[in-house]
Structure 1
Amino acid sequence: MKKSGIKTLLLIILLVLAVVLGQIIGTACAGISYLSWLGASAKFGLSTVELNLAVVKITFGMMVGINVAQAILLLASIVAYIKIKVRE
């Protein structure tokens, strides 16, 4: 695999791990009073819009929810990606 392919795969893995671990950490810390801020989240996006053409019915929509723990881990994963040097 070429160097750029390995780096792209590494970035994808780091970002997916950051999102999953951030969700787990945010959910686990929601019940702890001094760490509950890690679970604070915001949702944004397009709510469902329906297009009905009598023959075809199409529904569009996308919502993204992110909490503080995910945002911190996403920033950390991007910094780690920049710092990691991949040898060929």
Structure 2
Amino acid sequence: MFKNTFQSGFLSILYSLGSKPLQIWDKEGLGFGLTKFVDDHIKRPQDEDIQSNVLEIGMNIQSTYITCPADPSATLGIKLPFLDML
């Protein structure tokens, strides 16, 4: 996915402030705000502390999660030496 991309410094694969933060991600669960159980959801609520949209993934990790890349046969191809999760 990123193997032919110039990689220097930081490479962002998830940025909740963007218009489509899960564009390259596969979403498993019941979808954006459509919940069967309270803990099964993926939402983009407004966070009051930082006054911005955030990504909220339900607590049931067996049924609600995101994976990247969306295509399970693809690879990210990231060559940078460190993984930084913010």
Normalised to the residue count of structure 1, the TM-score between the two structures is 0.29
Normalised to the residue count of structure 2, the TM-score between the two structures is 0.29
More helix by share: 1
Larger Rg belongs to: 1
More strand by share: 1
